[in-house]
Structure 1
């Protein structure tokens, strides 16, 4: 499905009563409204269908001015017939989200319509009325986007500002909605999903597989004896946690990925400053862990992701705790295939698969005998086995989880290596714009938490039904 075909898919799904396909197609239009509005098929939409899209909280666009421009394009296709529906269409544009400067452009755009018997006044008056009345309506001052999938955060730790110590977390949060308000201020509304039944944990592993959330290993305090090997799964349909078989080894600061119906726990620290080369595989059918082929060297703080059924591993600390530039494919039975090195060394970073490429961001790098923040971001193209840089991070994100949702990369919290300060900020990268944007703050722990993206069955998109902990 793409911007040119999605409206045809909607017509097909409506004609044949395919409700699930219809939901997916409508959701695609809402997520990609600006791209869809620039297609020829958009101009043929019935007014009632267009208004349905405009009034939906889930509609995404670069700005509300862009939404207005889409409406104008639709009207100008047949102004003699469509100007009479201006009031109906203007009621779907959220003019209070515009700045006064943007609203002046509304008037300028309408001046193009002067040749149609002063009906531009009707259009402008309708817009002005919505702009003025809406300024008093707090609920109208933001658009709310509720994706079908949700970013889920598990555990982590943060500084206690009152006592100077650290607070460990058992909390599980999810991104309930994304808000765009006046002046294009964006923010995520977080809701608490519950708590893991295990001890508080950080530097653990989290993955989604088969509709379940898995939380494995990690640390529950800061000494060498506080590393864990426990594993739990969460079923969102039943709102219940299940204790699983323990890993064979204690493991923290490792990577956990799901591939081919199994979980892979890769490398990590078995105690403070002692990393390992072992890899364990969890089989949910037998509730058991077994060792797979080890890595070629001990690693911790590396990043791993799965692309096209293959496990990629980048950077991390070697046994001397030096940051690496390596990227390789890990084969559970066949060993290691090394690929082109990154341009910059890093550990405690993130790597995600996005649009068929591997995006690497955040972490620390070597600096003399110390570490410093790594701001440089890189993207790997598997087709050419080559790296290129993309826009630097605006702030450090060390020990930060990452996630990909709706073709955008999220960096969530972390800390600054230079002064160990914690921002708790969320930044989102849009490859289409090559730009990071601030998405607000995290709700709880801000560093060494873990994240994944999964479908929460009780999290309904475009509705006001939310998961509630029983």
Structure 2
């Protein structure tokens, strides 16, 4: 290992609120790009503590404005950003007054309490003495900002939403969000029923949950939509077939439900949901294998990849389904036989993670390249996990919870860095759970969704 890389890893392991600013400046000066990004993420995620530390007021004006301009800056209220700016100004007020306009431009003043804006910010001498600062204040006060102005936009966070599943007390109905930058959890509206082994996908800024198994053992065919703007669940049109342990995936604006189980019977069908029409349509399936029991599915490059339950066949097979031709095609088999795994896409490849074989719970990871039609073994996880949750945020794979043995629920969260082929445990959930679903969703810091179209790399499906 190179000396520079060893130093970077040492600083990464020992990073905290007191030294992250200095580490970031060091990484930038020495062109340590990965450490530079990791330290910036840490600053943004822990900003409410970082800006009060000794290093922060020593930032250059350019670095300060870079940090304050980020949508991902984690603050409970915008007044906190203004307080950070004032701490920086008061470090060297004489030399920094002329630069304060550049700093003030990065504060989302329309999201600050109007009385605070009028009675505190507007009365500052540094504001009174600058026509540029007065212009910025006037825009905010009179709400004349254009819709595309960055100061009018709320700060946002990409969070992982976790819904329902099973814990050590039984099947649950709760929903939470996890912010990978700040490692904070927030409680969301619970489902009106307890469910596990269901599907969850994100379409733009809306979540869709379908199917699953109820506490009484019956199978659901219901579809529910979660609206982050109102933190509420709304029932939609039901699937044609009840199913659990099936594949639910978004592709080209439609939700596809593939395979699964209904009590003791495999469901050999594919159906498609149109969100605009709130209607399901049974799809044709040419060449779909008989007794096809699905346990993982992803969408990539216009087709749906489906991983067969490894408890049925040896080795585990994967197939791809083209919704335009309705034709199934078998691709290269995996190295390991498994069921209960999690899957996602990242940088044009498919990852299958964890699960169990006929005897053991697994931590093995495999990566499939559609270009070469080959599977590659990746570094194993720190923990064996069956039926975990999975999501992709900012180019990293997060695997949450799962079972590491019969009745042993994990509460840890692991993160995979594809560049290094390494895993690390980064957080702990409030309680262990398995058989739940996750999806990454962009939210405003006030809890509302950002209206943006999600991409294949940030919409993994468990």
Please indicate the TM-score interval, normalised by the length of the shorter structure.
0.5 to 0.7
Asked whether the equivalents of residues 365 and 378 of structure 2 are also in contact (C-alpha less than 8 Å), the reply is yes
Q: Kindly report which structure 2 residues correspond to 1:176-191, keeping only aligned pairs within 5 A, or say none.
A: 176-179=179-182, 188-191=183-186
Alpha-carbon spacing, 1:395–1:222, altered in 2? closer, same or farther (3 Å): farther
Aligned equivalent of 2:399, options 394, 411, 430: 411
Whether 2:179 is the aligned partner of 1:204: answer no
Rounded to whole Å, the distance in 1 between the matches of 2:301 and 2:158 is 20
Q: 1:195 aligns with which of 170, 183, 190?
A: 190
The partner residue of 2:177 within 159, 174, 183 is 174
Match of 2:300 in 1: 307
Aligned to 1:241: 233
Alpha-carbon separation, structure 2, partners of 1:260 and 1:283? 10
- The normalised TM-score by structure 2 is 0.63
Residues 1:451 and 1:55: Cα distance change in structure 2 (over 3 Å)? same
Q: Secondary structure at the match of 2:375?
A: strand
- In the other structure, the counterpart of 2:63 is 50
Mapped contact 2:338–2:355 kept (Cα < 8 A): yes
CA distance in 1, matches of 2:268, 2:167: 29
User: Alignment partner of 1:313: what SS?
Assistant: strand
Deviation string for 1:336-374 (max 9, x for gaps)?
1111111111111111110111111110113xxxx3112
Q: Please, which of 154, 165, 171 is the counterpart of residue 163 of structure 2?
A: 154
Q: Secondary structure at the match of 1:148?
A: strand
**Is the CA contact 2:382–2:423 (under 8 Å) kept in the aligned structure 1?**
yes
How far 1:32 moved relative to its partner? Answer: 6.5
- Tell whether 2:334 aligns with 1:334: no
Distance in 1 of aligned mates of 2:355 and 2:314? 10
CA distance in 1, matches of 2:175, 2:394: 21
Query: What is residue 265 of structure 2 aligned with on the other side?
Result: 274
Aligned with residue 400 of structure 1, among 365, 382, 388? 388
- Measure the CA separation in 2 of the matches of 1:375 and 1:358: 16
The gaps in structure 1 that reach 5 residues or longer are 1-30, 38-45, 61-83, 86-145, 161-165, 180-187
Q: Could you tell me how far apart the structure 2 residues matched to 1:36 and 1:317 are?
A: 37
- Per-residue CA shift, 1:396-450, capped at 9, x if unaligned? 1101121111000111111024x33112211110111211110222234510010
Structure 1 match to 2:108: none
**Is the 8 Å Cα contact of residues 341 and 354 (structure 2) preserved in structure 1?**
yes
* Aligned-CA RMSD value: 3.0
Give the superposition deviation at 1:147. 6.4
Q: Which residue number in structure 1 is paired with residue 36 of structure 2? A: 34
Residue in 2 that maps onto 1:43: none
- Distance of aligned partners of 1:212 and 1:54 in 2 relative to their CA distance in 1, 3 Å threshold: closer
- 1:217, CA displacement in angstroms? 1.0
Checking the alignment, whether the CA contact within 8 Å between 1:155 and 1:445 is kept in structure 2 is no
| Contact residue 315 and residue 326 of structure 1 kept, 8 A | yes
Q: 2:378 aligns with which of 384, 390, 398?
A: 390
Summarize deviations over 1:308-333 as a string: whole Å, max 9, x none.
22211123256xx4565212211234
Give yes or no for contact 2:165–2:435 (8 Å, CA) kept in 1: yes
1:220 matched residue in structure 2: 214
Which residue matches 1:123?
Answer: none
TM-score computed with the length of structure 1 as normaliser: 0.62
SS at match of 1:373: coil
1:422 matched residue in structure 2: 409
Q: Matches of residues 56-455 of structure 1 in structure 2 within 5 Å?
A: 148-160=157-169, 166=170, 168-179=171-182, 188-197=183-192, 199-221=193-215, 223=217, 226-271=218-263, 273-294=264-285, 295-317=288-310, 321-322=312-313, 324-332=315-323, 333-366=325-358, 371-417=359-405, 419-444=406-431, 446-455=433-442
Deviation at 1:264, TM superposition (A): 0.7
After superposition, the Cα gap between the structure-2 partners of 1:292 and 1:440, relative to the gap in structure 1 and judged at 3 Å, is same
- CA contact 1:397–1:414 (8 Å) conserved in 2: yes
Aligned length: 318
Would you say the 8 A contact 2:294–2:306 is kept in 1?
no
Cα deviation, residue 35, structure 1: 5.8
Give the whole-Å Cα distance in 2 for the aligned partners of 1:206 and 1:388. 27
Per the alignment, residue 4 of structure 1 pairs with none
Task: Please report how far the alpha carbon of residue 375 of structure 1 lies from its aligned counterpart in structure 2 after TM superposition.
Answer: 2.1
Distance in 1 (alpha carbons) for counterparts of 2:300 and 2:239? 25
Distance 2:66 2:314 in 1: 49
Please give the alpha-carbon distance, in whole angstroms, between the structure 2 residues aligned to 1:278 and 1:317: 19
Alpha carbons of 1:147 and 1:256: their partners in 2 closer, same or farther (altered >3 Å)? same
